[in-house]
Structure formats: C-alpha cells, structure tokens
C-alpha cells in the first residue's frame, strides 16, 4: 500500500529508519536546525582548542564593545574575552543539556514503562508520584536541591533531571498502554518471553519515536533550565556558562548590553535549533500527521 505511488513496480519496503531519515531530510526547517546544531557542537568542541585565549584571563579593559581591539564579541565586566567565554559556555550548556536530558529520559522511561506495563496498583502509585512531581514548581524545587546539596555540575544535572522527567513518564506510559495489547506482544508472551524482555525488548522499541521527540525537546529545556539557574548565580561559581555570563554582566547593564545580548542569542539559537529538529523528528515519525 505504501508503495502504490511509486509506479507499477512494487519495490521492497525500505528500512523504517531509512524511511524516517528520508522524511526528515524533506523538512527544510529541521535540516537547517540540525546543521546549526552541528556547527554549535563543533564550536564547543574545537573552539577552545584553536582560540586559545583563556576565558578567565583579564585581557583588556572592561566593557570593550564587540569588534574593537580584535575582540570579536568584546570584553565583559572584568575585561575578559567574551568570545572565549562563549566557547567555554557552549561546552557547559551542551554538556548539561545532554546529560540532564539523558537522566530525564532514563527516569521517565523506567517509571512510564513500569506503570504502563504492570498497570493496577503499580500504575496507580507511580502515576500519583508523577502527579506529585508536577505540582512542585520545577525551578524552585531545583533551586532548593542545589541550595541544600551544593552547586556542583553533577548536582545541577541531577536537580534538572529530577524535576523534568514527568512528561517522558506520561508519554512512555501512554505508548506502553497502547502497545501492550497489540497482537505481536501477545505472540512474544506466548513463546515465553519474560516481563523484562517484553518491556524493554518487545514493547520499548516501538514506543520510542514519541519518546525520542520528547527527549530532543528535553535537551532544549534543560539548556534553558541551566541558564536560569546560573543566571541566578546558583550554579558552580567556577564554571562559565551562557546563563552565568548574562547574570554576571547585568550589574552594569547599560555599559554591557552586548555582553547580555550575545549569550542570550546563543541560547535562543541553540534551543530553537533543537526544537526545529524535534518537530522534524515528530513529522518524520508520523508521516500521517504532516501538513497539519
């Protein structure tokens, strides 16, 4: 049925992943997002290697505007090179974004899979816990975690992960509930697959597409989250991140409006690119929903 439009000759169905990739490439905005993201990651990895100015060094007078004295982005409130800071900040933002999203997905899939698979009392308890976490204002809660247990980078990642997994859990549960009643699952059960195998080998692969989309969006919101925390000066004082550059330079905002604007643009572009990729993935996984 899928191949009807491809002419008289019926081709063998492409691998589903190849099909998804084909759909994704057709989406111009998503491809643009992917390219932008790729460039940002390259800058984060290789930037500090080739541009060797130490982001902590005071190299020139404070608040030198962008482009002057050979400083592309100018200097910050302490006279440090903003370009070097931005590259260092890119590393932190992306690292925290990825690892927090990974944690979110890990907790979310575990909770959602158990709830959706076992149902009954297990589901009841797990979903109540999920609702409970939805009641806590995320930023305040992670502020509390960071305040009580210290502001190291791993603790910030945990704080972000601990407050944002609920969406993934809900999506996973919904998918599991839909899939677990399908025939192929019953077939796998009939040939003696154990519960763990059913959950993570039989059901999970088919539940992944919406989870992957959500995970992509989670990277974006984790980056925003980390930016918020470090803007409030609650992150590790020894680590430069985009949010921190904004927070530090706002003390003298009229002199340093560029030092506040530039990191914000970086966050904006990164999160926007991630969200375009996420939308593209969503469309590619659900070709039927396209054009809505």
Interacting residue ranges for another protein, rule: CB under 8 A: 131-132, 134-141, 143-149, 220, 224, 227-228, 231-234, 243, 246, 250, 253-254, 257, 260-261, 264, 267-269, 271-272, 275
**CB 139 to another protein: min, Å:** 3
Between 66 and 264, CB nearer to another protein: 264
Distance, in Å, from the CA atom of 140 to the CA atom of 4, rounded to the nearest integer, reads 54
SS3 string, the chain, reads CCCHHHCCCCCCCCCHHHHHHHHHHHCHHHHHHHHHHHHHHHHHHHHHHHCCCCCCCECCCCCCCCCHHHCCCCECCCCEEHHHHHHHHHHHHHHHHHHHHHHHHHHHHHHHHHHHHHCHHHHHHHHHHHHHHHHCCHHHHHHHHHHHHCCCHHHHHHHHHHHHCHHHHHHHHHHHHHHCCCHHHHHHHHCCCCHHHHHHHHHHHHHHHHHHHHHHHHHHHHHHHHHHHHHCCCCCCCCCCHHHHHHHHHHHCCCCHHHHHHHHHHHHHHHHHHHHHHHHHHHHHCHHHCCC
**CB 220 to another protein: min, Å:** 7
Q: Cβ-count burial of 171 within 10 angstroms (0-12 exposed, 13-18 middle, 19+ buried)? A: buried
Between 106 and 132, CB nearer to another protein: 132
**CB 36 to another protein: min, Å:** 12
Between 21 and 140, CB nearer to another protein: 140
**CB 76 to another protein: min, Å:** 15
CA distance to 5, 16, 25, 176, per residue, from 287 (Å): 15, 12, 13, 21
**CB 163 to another protein: min, Å:** 9
Between 14 and 147, CB nearer to another protein: 147
**CB 131 to another protein: min, Å:** 7
**CB 281 to another protein: min, Å:** 16
Distance, in Å, from the CA atom of 248 to the CA atom of 162, rounded to the nearest integer, reads 27
**CB 122 to another protein: min, Å:** 18
Between 40 and 199, CB nearer to another protein: 40
Distance, in Å, from the CA atom of 24 to the CA atom of 281, rounded to the nearest integer, reads 6
Between 145 and 179, CB nearer to another protein: 145
Between 67 and 150, CB nearer to another protein: 150
Between 10 and 253, CB nearer to another protein: 253
């Amino acid at each position: 049925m899928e191949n009807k439009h491809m002419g008289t000759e019926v081709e063998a169905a492409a691998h589903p992943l190849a099909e998804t990739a084909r759909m994704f490439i057709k989406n111009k905005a998503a491809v643009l997002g992917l390219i932008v993201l790729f460039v940002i990651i390259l800058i984060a990895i290789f930037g500090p290697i080739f541009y060797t100015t130490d982001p902590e060094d005071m190299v020139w007078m404070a608040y030198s505007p962008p482009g002057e004295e050979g400083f592309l982005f100018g200097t910050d409130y302490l006279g440090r090179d903003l370009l070097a800071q931005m590259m260092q900040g890119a590393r932190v933002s992306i690292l925290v974004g990825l690892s927090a999203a990974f944690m979110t997905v890990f907790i979310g899939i575990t909770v959602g899979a158990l709830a959706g698979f076992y149902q009954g009392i297990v589901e009841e308890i797990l979903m109540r816990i999920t609702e409970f976490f939805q009641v806590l204002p995320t930023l305040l809660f992670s502020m509390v975690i960071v305040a009580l247990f210290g502001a190291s980078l791993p603790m910030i990642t945990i704080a972000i992960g601990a407050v944002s997994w609920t969406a993934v859990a809900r999506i996973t549960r919904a998918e599991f509930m839909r899939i677990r009643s399908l025939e192929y699952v019953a077939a796998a059960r009939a040939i003696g697959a154990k519960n763990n195998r059913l959950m993570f080998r039989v059901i999970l692969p088919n539940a992944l597409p919406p989870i992957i989309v959500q995970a992509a969006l989670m990277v974006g919101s984790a980056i925003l989250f980390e930016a918020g925390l470090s803007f409030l000066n609650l992150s590790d004082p020894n680590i430069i991140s985009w949010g921190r550059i904004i927070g530090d330079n706002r003390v003298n905002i009229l002199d340093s409006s560029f030092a506040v604007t530039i990191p914000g643009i970086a966050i904006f572009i990164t999160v926007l690119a991630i969200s375009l990729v996420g939308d593209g993935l969503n469309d590619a996984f659900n070709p039927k929903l396209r054009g809505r």
